[in-house]
Amino acid sequence: MSETSGSTISPDDGKAFITPAGAHESAGVDGENTPAINGVEHSEPELEPRFGTEGNGKVKAQANPDDRLQLDAIITNFQTNTSASVGKTTQQHYIAIFKKLLRRSGLLERVGKVDRLVGTPTRRLFSGQQGRRLVLSFVQTVDKRSWNLHRAALKKVWEEGLGVTWPLHARDLACAEYYEAKNAPPIKSVLSWAEAVEMVKDPWTKLMLLLFWQYGLRPSHLASFKWRNIERTAEGEPFAIFALERGFKKQSPVRAVLFPNVKRALLEWEKISPNTSPEAPLLCWRDAFGHLDGSRPTYPDQLRKHWINIQKDRELPVLQLNAPRHFVARTTDKAALSEVATNFLMGHKVTKDVSHRRDYRYEAVEVCLEEQLRVFPNGPLGWISGVKVETAGLPKELLSLVAAFWQGQEAMTVMQFADQVDKLQRLEKQRQQKAEQQVEVPKLGL
């Protein structure tokens, strides 16, 4: 459509609506800036959504800002609309933040064990300038370092739960103190944990700790892994973890090679696991006393409790459960692991040049798995432990090759490394034979 002088014409389902110029210049509700007609303030109805249902099961928005809101309906709509993109734990966290806003704004009360909205609020309360003032007043009551988290959570609930356009502009919280990444844990503390992990005898606990420390995975990853996520060779030997499905972020697949100690722990756990069917959880439910339930998965909060108990029982350096993720991120950077291989290892968002179609064809994945194993033949924990080789009787060339390969300095595959070792062994034998031939045999005197 074209523009007319003083007015803007915009299409909407084949119909054209003429809106006075400048009517949308503020963050107010549609119609707030509409001029008075015959001395009477004129207000257009807000085109805020009302919920219906689409064919794909997602709640569809329809216009009626004056419908009375129910807390249960808001939560149900939010969970339905975000079920494919937001994990359950994150959903609960976002809902808790939304309830915190309602409570601090005097819009939520607790009757018995049930939360309910105070009065008869409608979507109009959360729209336009009213919604903007509501959010801005709330964020002033929380730590500035968590403003970005609260903004992301509330925006998601606003759009997917309330069905209301997010009322804030990007500049509204521009002065927020952005979150700064925490420093990685000290190497000394990591080595203490690494030594403790090697001493753990229980296969379930050992596998849990290795998945944290060797890959930097989140608790939600471990809680969502199933046995079918373990890729195996034609002989049935496990070799990698592949996970891109419900329960993980759509853009954050896990494509990670099984490092030697992880593979051993996995095989030990597989022998005693109560349920190894493809749809069964990889780490099933386990309480503090070691009782297992193969029918249900462990939960992120449960994993945190196990982490704390291990920390206390073995008197290990006090680290948060995000410490392994920071450690692996720093170690992959030092070892010069490529960005794509790192993202696959840790379950980060893949880069733009690696599409999901390529993921499923395994074109980029095979290269990344090979790189992960070349740079970290024994995983990040093994990389920081250094090379421990008995030097007695070994040629300098072999020691240099092992050290370079271990630290990821030589761009070669495992098979190429094995070929180089074989060549050095043959070369050493040739040297010894040549030395023996040059030795003169003393003649015995009669």
Q: Closest by alpha carbon to 164, among 56, 82, 69?
A: 69
pLDDT at 365: 80
User: pLDDT tens-digit profile of 322-375?
Assistant: 899 999 999 999 899 988 889 889 988 765 555 554 554 455 788 889 999 999
Instruction: Report the 10 Å Cβ neighbour count for 64.
Output: 17
Here the tokens at position 364 are 């980029």
Question: Would you state the pLDDT for residue 261?
Answer: 93
Q: Which of 54-58, 129-133, 284-288, 404-408 has the lowest mean pLDDT?
A: 54-58
Residue 214 has pLDDT above 70, yes or no: yes
Torsion over CA of 259, 261, 266 and 267, rounded to 10 degrees? 110
pLDDT given for residue 110 in this prediction = 87
Q: What pLDDT does 206 receive?
A: 95
Quote the radius of gyration of the chain (alpha carbons, Å): 30
Give every CB contact of residue 446 below 8 A, 6+ residues apart in sequence. Answer: none
User: pLDDT digit string (tens) for 375-419?
Assistant: 999 999 998 875 444 444 556 676 677 666 655 555 556 566 667
Percentage of the chain surpassing pLDDT 90?
36
For the chain, the domains span: 1-44, 52-173, 187-383, 396-435
pLDDT at 184 (0 to 100): 81
Q: Is the pLDDT of residue 160 over 80?
A: yes
- Asked if 228 contacts 222 with a C-beta cutoff of 8 angstroms, the reply is no
Give yes or no for a contact between 49 and 33, defined as CB atoms under 8 angstroms apart. no
Q: What is the pLDDT of residue 201?
A: 92
3-state secondary structure of 214: helix
Q: Across the strands, what pairs with 329?
A: none
* Per-residue model confidence as pLDDT tens digits over 285-310: 998 888 999 888 888 888 999 999 99
Q: Measured between alpha carbons, how far is residue 105 from residues 56, 100, 136, 140 in Å?
A: 35, 8, 11, 12
Q: Which tokens hold the place of 139?
A: 């964020």
Q: Spell out the alpha helix ranges (H) of 142-186.
A: 147-157
Higher pLDDT, 158 or 400: 158
319 within 8 A of 197, measured Cβ to Cβ: no
Comparing CA positions, the residue from 64, 61, 62 lying closest to residue 45 is 64
Task: For residue 425, give Cα distances in angstroms to 120, 265, 412, 420.
Answer: 83, 32, 18, 9
pLDDT of residue 326: 93
% of the chain exceeding 70 in pLDDT: 67
Cβ atoms 135, 105 nearer than 8 A:
no
Edge to edge, what strands does the sheet with 254-257 contain? 230-232, 238-243, 254-257
Q: How many helices (H) and strands (E) does the chain have?
A: 16, 11
pLDDT score recorded for residue 212: 96
The encoded tokens of residue 100 equal 């915190």
- CATH T-level assignment (fold) for domain 187-383: hpI Integrase; Chain A (1.10.443)
